Amino acid sequence: MESERFVIDTNIFILLFNDRLTDPIPDGEIAYSIITEMELRSFPTLTLEEETVIRDKLANFTVYSIDSAVKEEAIRLRRTIRLKLPDAIIAATAIVHNATLVTNDRQLHMVQELDCRKLAMLP
């Protein structure tokens, strides 16, 4: 039996790194979009130590690059739903790879073609 596939959104990783998730990351094949890594590592105040932690944690998961299928789906999502470009790419990544998107972003939960899962968090 194939394990369930999940794409983890940037906001979930931020909650995880800040010890604010009360639900665990689901069991299964875990991946993230290259956009998530770019978002996480581009905070201006990020220290070298924090960047090392991010790199080490992300190394445990599969990274999906932006291929032509993800590009075309992201363009379609931007045109029809008016998502921000990073959100459109992350959503497109989950759609193209037939994965559930783990996100607490309310707007992404409204994308009909997208299977989303929300995780509980501390206030």
3-state secondary structure string, 49-109? Answer: HHHHHHHHHHCCCEEECCCHHHHHHHHHHHHHHCCCHHHHHHHHHHHHCCCEEECCCHHHH
Query: Which pLDDT score is estimated for 84?
Result: 96
Residues 60 and 3 sit within 8 Å (Cβ to Cβ): no
Query: What pTM was computed for the model?
Result: 0.95
What does the alpha-carbon distance between residue 114 and residue 92 come to, in Å, rounded to a whole number? 9
Q: Which residues of the chain have pLDDT under 50?
A: none
Q: Per CATH, the architecture of 5-117 is what? A: 3-Layer(aba) Sandwich (3.40)
Q: What is the pLDDT of residue 41?
A: 98
